[in-house]
A and B are shown apart, each in its own frame.
Chain A
Amino acid sequence: MAKEDMWGKLGRIDPRILYVLLVIILIIPLIAPIGLPIPITSETRKIYDAVEKLPPGSVVVCAMDTSGAAWGENGPQAKAILRHLFQKPLKIVVVSFEADGPMLGQRALLEVPKGEKKYGVDYVNLGFVAGGETGRAAFGRDVQKLISKDFLGNPLEKLPIMEKVRNAEDFALFFTFTSLISAVEMYVRQLYAPYKTKVVAGIIGLGVPAVVPYYNAGQLFSILSGSLGAGEYELLSKMPGEGVRLSDALSLSTLLVVVLIVVGNAAFFGDKLRGKEEKR
Chain B
Amino acid sequence: MGPLVAVVLTLLIYSFLYKENKLYRFAEYSFVGVSAGYWLMVAIDNLRSVALGPILRGNYSYVIPLVLGVAVFARLSKGYSWLARWPVAIVVGTGTALALRGFVDAMFIGQIRATIAAPMDYNNILIAVMTVCTLFFFMFTIEHKGPVGILAKAGRYSLMFYFGVLFGNHIMTRMALLTSRFIEIQNFILKALGLS
Does the CB pair B170–A72 fall under 8 Å?
no
Contact of B171 with A by CB under 8 A: yes
Residues on B with beta carbons closer than 8 Å to the beta carbon of A76: 180
Contacts of B177 in A (CB 8 A): 69-70, 72-73
Stretch at the interface among A43-51, A53-61, A165-173, A187-195: A187-195
B105 within 8 A of A: yes
Contact A217 B98 (CB under 8 A): no
Please tell me if the beta carbons of A16 and B114 are within 8 angstroms of each other in the complex: no
B171, A257: Cβ atoms under 8 Å? yes
Q: How far is the CB of A179 from chain B (nearest CB, A)?
A: 8
User: From DSSP, what is the main secondary structure of chain B's interface residues?
Assistant: helix
CB of A236 closer than 8 Å to a CB of B: no
Which of B79-87, B136-144, B147-155, B181-189 lies on the face that meets chain A? B181-189
The distance from the CB of B6 to the nearest CB of chain A, in whole angstroms, is 10
Q: Which chain B residue lies CB-closest to A20?
A: B17
Query: What does the 1/0 interface line of B108-127 toward A look like (CB < 8 Å)?
Result: 00110110001000000001
Residue in chain A with minimal CB distance to B2:
A107
Count chain A CB atoms within 10 A of each CB in B39, B53, B94, B107 and give the residue with the most: B107
* A217 contacts across to B, CB distance below 8 A: 110-111, 113-114
Q: Complex: how many Å from CA A100 to CA B169?
A: 24
Interface assignment of B173: CB less than 8 Å from any CB of chain A: yes
Question: Do B114 and A149 have beta carbons less than 8 Å apart?
Answer: no
Contacts of B94 in A (CB 8 A): 134
Measured CB to CB, the nearest residue on chain B to A128 is B42
Assembly CA distance A100 to B180 (angstroms):
18
Is there a chain B Cβ closer than 8 Å to A27's Cβ? Answer: yes
B103 interfacial contact with A, CB 8 Å: yes
User: Which residues of chain A are near B111, meaning CB under 8 Å?
Assistant: 213, 217
Bound complex: CA of A256 vs CA of B105, how far in Å? 43
Chain B hits for A180, CB < 8 A? none
A213:B114 contact, CB within 8 angstroms: yes
Whether the pair A253, B175 counts as a contact (CB closer than 8 A) is yes
Interface residue from B45, B114, B169, B172 paired with A218 (Cβ < 8 Å) = B114
Q: Which of B38, B53, B102, B107 makes the CB contact (< 8 A) with A148?
A: B53
Q: How many A-B residue pairs have CB under 8 A?
A: 135
The CA of A178 and the CA of B127, in the complex, are separated in Å by: 26
User: Bound state CA distance, A73 and B183, in angstroms?
Assistant: 12
Taking CB atoms, residues of chain B closer than 8 Å to A22 are 178
On chain A, the residues within 8 Å of B166 by CB distance are 206, 209
A130/B46 contact (C-beta < 8 A), A190-B98, A194-B102, A254-B171 known:
yes
B179 at the interface (CB under 8 A from A): yes
Residues in B neighbouring A72, C-beta threshold 8 A: 176-181
* Chain A residues within an 8 Å CB radius of B106: 188-189, 192-193, 214, 219
Is B180 in contact with A148, judged by CB distance below 8 angstroms? no
A271 within 8 A of B: no
* Contact B183–A206 (Cβ < 8 Å): no
**A125 interface residue per 8 A CB criterion:** no
Render B149-171 as a binary contact track against A, CB cut-off 8 A, 1 for contact: 00000000000001001100111
- Shortest CB distance B95–A (Å): 6
Provided the pairs A188-B102, A189-B102 are in contact, do residues A250 and B183 lie with their beta carbons within 8 angstroms? no
Q: Is A30 an interface residue (CB 8 A)?
A: yes
Residue contacts A-B, CB under 8 angstroms, 30 given: A16-B17, A26-B178, A31-B186, A70-B177, A72-B176, A72-B179, A133-B99, A134-B95, A137-B101, A148-B49, A188-B106, A188-B107, A189-B99, A190-B102, A192-B106, A193-B105, A204-B173, A205-B176, A206-B173, A209-B166, A213-B114, A216-B118, A216-B127, A217-B114, A219-B106, A219-B110, A226-B172, A249-B175, A253-B175, A254-B175
Q: Which residues of B contact A (CB under 8 A)?
A: 17-18, 38-39, 42, 45-46, 49-50, 53-54, 94-95, 98-99, 101-103, 105-107, 110-111, 113-114, 118, 127, 162, 165-166, 169-173, 175-183, 186
| 4 other A-B residue contacts (CB within 8 Å) besides A30-B179, A130-B46 | A134-B98, A189-B101, A206-B166, A217-B111
